Amino acid sequence: MKIINSLAILSLVLFQNLYSQEKEISDPKGAIIIADVKGAVSVVNNATGQALPQQDVQAGKLIFDGHTIKTVGKDSKIVLLLSNGTVTTLKADSVLNIKKFTQAKFDPGATKLAEMPGEPSSSDTLIDLNIGDMVVDIKKLDKKSNFNIESPVGTAGIRGTRIGMNIQQAPGGGFTSKVTVPEGIIAFTPPPPPPPPPGIAAPPPPEPVILPAGQAVTPSVTATGTISAPPVPAPAPPADLAAVNQDLDVAQAGTADITVAEVATAVETVAEV
């Protein structure tokens, strides 16, 4: 009987260890540091629908994926530093859903995160700009990494670049947009068409459009999600390129002194939540 009990306990311990390892491998949380906040900004837990206490939506606080951020009012904004080195500013009257942000473990060091040419370890990021205006600076990604920005007008697949996205509601319904790339390159994929009636074959999925540095697209969709203006690359106005770069330069300056060791500590902190 003692042998059977010992085997049962050993099996339980092994199962718990395997489960723990699987969870660690499949779902390592990345940390998101709030670097700056201006005006009215709220953060809501997607699972519970509950807003975080306002004292937790301040510079220096941490969040992680599974939260939606909303800025309200013309002077509102929030600057975020992701533990993979991405810096983003969500500007006024915008809604950003951080659907997924996971990152492999990495060694801490005294190096400043801003000084690294690429991310400290592979990561998987999926965010959704529901509406509004944001700028993002993504470090060169590991070949195993993914970074996608969804929106009502399509998805931007990124490998390491600077990008500005503006999504607005169109009169009568639907959405208009402007996607600007000052540096790097993205692949922009329009949304799939609405499902066809029964018995009608579905059309092929839309092909991604390559958008290199200095280019912009202005796709739009109707209230039903049908593409009303496809993403056609064209030279971006110099003023638009300069505006995205200026916003990102300000955000980068505000996070320039954060070290990899500090980010590693942030990752350990959110892992315990």
Alpha-carbon distance of 120 to 198, in angstroms, equals 48
Spatial neighbors of 130 by CB under 8 A, at least 6 apart, are 68, 95, 96, 97, 151, 152, 167
Nearest to 32 by CA among 143, 123, 148: 123
The answer on pLDDT for 162 being more than 80 is yes
Alpha-carbon distance of 21 to 93, in angstroms, equals 41
**Confidence bin at 211 (pLDDT 50/70/90):** very high
Q: Taking the model in full, what pTM does it have? A: 0.88
pLDDT tens digits for range 59-101: 999 999 999 999 999 999 999 999 999 999 999 999 999 999 9
Q: Give pLDDT, residue 39.
A: 97
CA–chain centroid gap for 27, Å, is: 16
Q: What percent of the chain is predicted at pLDDT more than 90? A: 77
Q: Give pLDDT, residue 110.
A: 76
Alpha-carbon distance of 159 to 26, in angstroms, equals 21
Q: Are 29 and 64 in contact (CB under 8 A)?
A: yes
pLDDT tens digits for range 114-146: 999 999 999 999 999 999 999 999 999 999 999
Token readout for 157 is: 């697949």
Give me the amino acid identity at 45. N
Q: Give pLDDT, residue 43.
A: 98
Alpha-carbon distance of 191 to 103, in angstroms, equals 27
Q: Give pLDDT, residue 26.
A: 55
Token readout for 195 is: 């499902």
Q: Give pLDDT, residue 109.
A: 78
